[in-house]
Amino acid sequence: MHDIWNPWHGCRKVAEGCLNCYMYVLDRQRGMDGSNIFRTQNFYYPLQRNRDGSFKIKSGELIRVCMTSDFFLPEADPWRAEAFSLMAQRPDVIFYLLTKRARRMLKCLPREYPADFPNLSFNVSAENNEAARRRLPYLLELPCAHKGVMCAPLTNAA
């Protein structure tokens, strides 16, 4: 795993697993409001190059996307198509997308992307059994090659 790419920052709490979100804690420590959603200066990170012309993100690496937000956040709708375009330009890198907004995944997929989204790993977080029951059906309907579930942050609910 190489790094994290946060094309946008900030989020809205939508689930029990959001209750103690680390991003909100870190933002509060920095005097920021975690619910303030904005496109970051690092938006084009997947295409950034070193002085020798090589990509900063090496071929074959796994990049976790939107670890200070949610890739399928409605407020990010204006930026998502361009983010997908950047990922398509790096078919040699695996982009790990994690969401609690599973119901939005299918409708947010770009039409112009290689079949099965070969370099994207679509993942839902499931903080408890109820969240898994709600989110997994949406994950299973995606026409993509790589899918996963992150069981975190775990809670005591049913």
Residue 157 resides in a domain: no
Residue 64 resides in a domain: yes
Residue 156 resides in a domain: no
Domain span at 29: 3-150
Residue 85 resides in a domain: yes
Query: Coil, strand or helix: which one is 56?
Result: coil
Residues paired with 121 in a beta bridge? 96, 146
Residue 158 resides in a domain: no
Number of domains in the chain: 1
| pTM to 2 decimal places | 0.92
**pLDDT tens profile 35-72:** 999 999 999 999 999 999 999 999 999 999 999 999 99
Residues paired with 76 in a beta bridge? none
Residue 23 resides in a domain: yes
Residue 155 resides in a domain: no
Residue 105 sits at φ, ψ, to 5 deg, of: -60, -55
